[in-house]
Amino acid sequence: MAPTLYLSPQAEDRQSAAPGTDLQNEKGSSFPAKRNRLYVIIQKELRLITMQRNILCAFVITVCCCQCAPSPTDAGDRTADLMIPERFEASVEPIQPIAAEQDLPAAIVALGRKLYHDTQLSGTQKLSCATCHPVDGPGMVPAIIAPLRNSRGSRSPSRYNVPTIFNVGEHFAYFWNGRAQSLEKVIQISIQAENIMDGTWRIILERLASDPGYSNEVANAYPDTGLTEENVVNALATYLRSLTTPNAAFDRWLNGENLSENAKEGYRLFKSYGCIRCHQGAGVGGNMYASFRSYLESREPQRNTDYGRYNVTKDEAHRYQLKVPSLRNVAVTAPYFHDGSAISLSDAVEAMAQHQLGRSLTRTENNQIVSFLESLTGWRENALLSESP
């Protein structure tokens, strides 16, 4: 504020006592009397502006405080309405970027990578983990794999969609029905299950011990304990933890870069319509169970695998509950759902909106949400993940 325009209270008094006489400002310089009225008007204007500015400041401070406090779910909507700068918005988002750096023992990761691609781990010596979860593609094959035989030895008619292997390190449970609580457990099941690798530990360890290709790697990774079942599982699990896909366009936006308007609008809808309730965190899912009852009950015939977590706990309340899948890289992992029943991403989004949220999306909204989901495709080995190996 320009100091020469400031009139002290005394000056005001004098002005009202003797209109038309010269006034002095605080610095002692005098104003011509005929311009007094103008200065008083300017002064009032300035007071008003100061007051407005204070109110504005108080408002901004209140808004900022509110932004720090609320639950992540509704914070996003409000930030969008108030047009808070994007960088600020990013810090309160319910989705976090995937860490670009990892701190895993390199020698163990290297051994794990070799085991992951080794067909000696399977009964027929024809399958490796990479056969169904290729890491030079989307981390899965678009095939529906028959589940385990049940205890009577018969196969159930249901089928499981192969999930992607990328970013599985942080999931809270594994398999569509959550029957494994750790990666180590998944690996044990995958190696031994009849319809997956159908392997036997004794035979696998014999094969690996007589394979000279492993001696260096094993010595580097486990110098004291050598080749044991536990170490093979540990090496595979460590390798799986290394399979992250950072740098997605959405993550770069969270870190302050630009994102297409369509994807941003899709993300706004994803939050305001409530998809975020189940799909959040760094994995955009993979951290809770949820029921898919409305969709699954609407189909005939029902399959054993549709019962989800009920098959694990036998608790009626868990019937139709499935692990909420991570939506990282979802644009390149078609088909969708535990049984692959949604062929395109747009179909999956529509089914979710209708059955999980009771909403029908317009074509534009569906496209915008798909754009947002496409922005979750990450990078691996300096390349954007692709649909095929």
Q: Tell me which residues touch ligand HEC (CB under 6 A).
A: 121, 127, 129, 131-133, 145, 160, 162-163, 165, 168, 171, 174-176, 183, 186-187, 190-191, 196-197, 236, 240, 270, 273-275, 277-279, 290, 292, 322, 324-325, 327, 330, 333, 336-338, 345, 348-349, 352-353, 356-357, 369
Closest contact distance (angstroms) between CB of 277 and ligand HEC is: 5
Count CA within 13 A, CB hemisphere, residue 354.
13
Question: Is 333:284 a contact under the CB 8 Å cutoff?
Answer: no
163: preceding bond cis by omega (within 30 degrees): no
How far, rounded to the nearest angstrom, does the alpha carbon of residue 57 sit from its chain's CA centroid? 35
Closest contact distance (angstroms) between CB of 158 and ligand HEC is: 10
Q: Which is nearer to ligand HEC, 63 or 148 (CB)?
A: 148
Residue type, 86: E
Closest contact distance (angstroms) between CB of 54 and ligand HEC is: 43
Closest contact distance (angstroms) between CB of 224 and ligand HEC is: 24
Count CA within 13 A, CB hemisphere, residue 85.
7
Closest contact distance (angstroms) between CB of 334 and ligand HEC is: 8
Q: Which is nearer to ligand HEC, 39 or 337 (CB)?
A: 337
For residue 155, the SS3 value is: strand
For residue 156, the SS3 value is: coil
Q: Which is nearer to ligand HEC, 45 or 206 (CB)?
A: 206
Question: Is 23:33 a contact under the CB 8 Å cutoff?
Answer: yes
Count CA within 13 A, CB hemisphere, residue 282.
15
Question: Is 204:350 a contact under the CB 8 Å cutoff?
Answer: no
Q: Which is nearer to ligand HEC, 11 or 109 (CB)?
A: 109
CA distance 376 to 61: 33
Closest contact distance (angstroms) between CB of 64 and ligand HEC is: 29
DSSP code, position 352: H
Q: Which is nearer to ligand HEC, 14 or 303 (CB)?
A: 303
Q: Which is nearer to ligand HEC, 185 or 252 (CB)?
A: 185
